[in-house]
Amino acid sequence: MATWSMFMTQDASSPIMEQLIFFHDYSMMIIISITILISYLMYSLMKNKLYNRFMLESQMIEIIWTITPMVILIFMAIPSLMILYLTDEMKNPMLSIKAIGHQWYWSYEYSDFKSIEFDSFMLNDSEKIDQFRLLDTDNHMVIPFNTNIRLIINSTDVIHSWTVPSLGIKVDATPGRINQILLMSNRPGLFYGQCSEICGANHSFMPIVVESNSLKMFNNWLNNK
């Protein structure tokens, strides 16, 4: 989860988030290089007192500054499209979980296992004992790690957004429409998120907690539900 003085992204907990962090660093490297180069050229032009009054045009430099941005955009577009298609890839999911947005809480349905359904509300300050303020919930969405999960997102009232940054997931929950995305955690732990769509007065009070466990602990949780 995010902590104070954190300026970068959260630690990756899924393969998709690892690719997103790599693409972020890759893009920033290109952008910073371009910024340094342009700044140096502008500084040189301002400080340079020499000029050529006979030079009217240069086709070679025009070709260079036309083709170079095209090449840079191609090198940025290829990994971007690859990650875009990876996020939409739905390959052999082992189970399906439905997340439904309400004003202002989430509910979850495990229809593959005897129709397990429960609501997830934010904990009040009086209920919290060593919990994270505005982030913890009374019921977690429990998943097994290293497992392909199909997450189905829907809403009953207004547009919400199911977002967990460390898993690299941000999907809108739209009334009358079902969105789906591949969810996979590559390590156990608690992963926190919040609704990232302005959905009303209590928009900031519908957090998300994903609890990633081993397959054995996940089966025990199912049996106790």
- What's the whole-number mean pLDDT along residues 112-126? 82
Is the domain 15-88 a CATH 1.10.287.90 member? Answer: yes
| Model pLDDT, residue 219 | 87
| Model pLDDT, residue 128 | 60
Before 221, cis peptide (omega within 30)?
Answer: no
Looking at CATH, the fold of the domain delimited by 95-224 is given as Immunoglobulin-like (2.60.40)
- The per-residue pLDDT for range 84-108, each reduced to its tens digit, is 888 887 878 888 899 999 988 999 9
- What's the whole-number mean pLDDT along residues 194-202? 87
**Cβ neighbours of 151 (radius 10 Å):** 25
- The per-residue pLDDT for range 131-184, each reduced to its tens digit, is 788 888 888 999 998 888 999 999 998 999 999 999 989 999 999 899 988 888
- Residues 64, 67, 71, 73: is their CA dihedral positive or negative? positive
Q: Where are the alpha helices (DSSP H) in 14-144?
A: 15-47, 59-88
Where along the chain do its domains lie? Answer: 15-88, 95-224
- Model confidence band, residue 116 (pLDDT cutoffs 50, 70, 90): confident
- What's the whole-number mean pLDDT along residues 101-129? 83
Buried residues in 23-62 as b, exposed as e (16+ CB within 10 A): eeeeeeeeeeeeeeeeeeeeeeeeeeeeeeeeeeeeeeee
- Model confidence band, residue 11 (pLDDT cutoffs 50, 70, 90): confident
- What's the whole-number mean pLDDT along residues 8-33? 89
Rounded to 10°, the helix 15-47/59-88 angle is 160
**Statement: residue 17 has pLDDT above 60:** yes
- Asked whether 72 and 30 are in contact (CB, 8 A), the reply is yes
| Model pLDDT, residue 127 | 57
| Model pLDDT, residue 77 | 92
- Please tell me the pTM assigned to this model: 0.80
47 vs 1: which has the higher pLDDT: 47
DSSP bridge partners of 95: 149
Percent of the chain exceeding pLDDT 90 equals 37
**Statement: residue 47 has pLDDT above 90:** no
**Statement: residue 196 has pLDDT above 70:** yes
Q: List the one residue out of 203, 210, 225 whose CA is nearest residue 103.
A: 203
